[in-house]
Amino acid sequence: MSSVYEQLGGEPAINAAVDIFYRKVLADKYVIRFFEGVDMEKQAGKQKAFLTMVTGGPNSYTGKDMREGHRHLVAMGLDDSHFDHILCHLRSTLAELGVAQNLIDTVISVAESTRDDVLDR
């Protein structure tokens, strides 16, 4: 059985998804403040490596763990409502790319599993 990474289309699909995803996120007035001053090229690279790893692709993720990486954002007020906005952008990005619903559900489930760590609770 192939991995979710392979079913999504591998590296080209992950790259396209992250690029579209961050365009959506950066256009969202509700969450944009959490990305002010962030090197978005570096951020996109970390996100691509993370999504590759969690979907069963080659593991080259070397970023901080979810709690450490987002703790400063929680101090800025990051909460469930912001997390929900991000999940909506991820879901709509995957749908826009024509990803099958079962794969979208799998990716969203993986993202949802990070909620407590991202929100440092």
Average pLDDT, integer, range 27-32? 96
pLDDT, averaged across the chain: 91
Q: How far apart are CA 84 and CA 3, in angstroms?
A: 26
Q: Is 90 exceeded by the pLDDT of residue 83? A: yes
Q: Is 80 exceeded by the pLDDT of residue 59? A: no
H or E stretch covering 32 = none
- 70 labeled binding residue: yes
Percentage of the chain surpassing pLDDT 90?
Answer: 73
Q: How far apart are CA 57 and CA 12, in angstroms?
A: 12
Alpha helix (H) residue ranges in 1-121 = 4-8, 10-26, 40-54, 66-75, 80-96, 101-112, 115-118
Domains along the sequence of the chain with CATH: 4-118 (1.10.490.10)
Q: Residue 49: its pLDDT value, please?
A: 86
CA geometry: angle 83, 89, 93, nearest 5 deg: 145
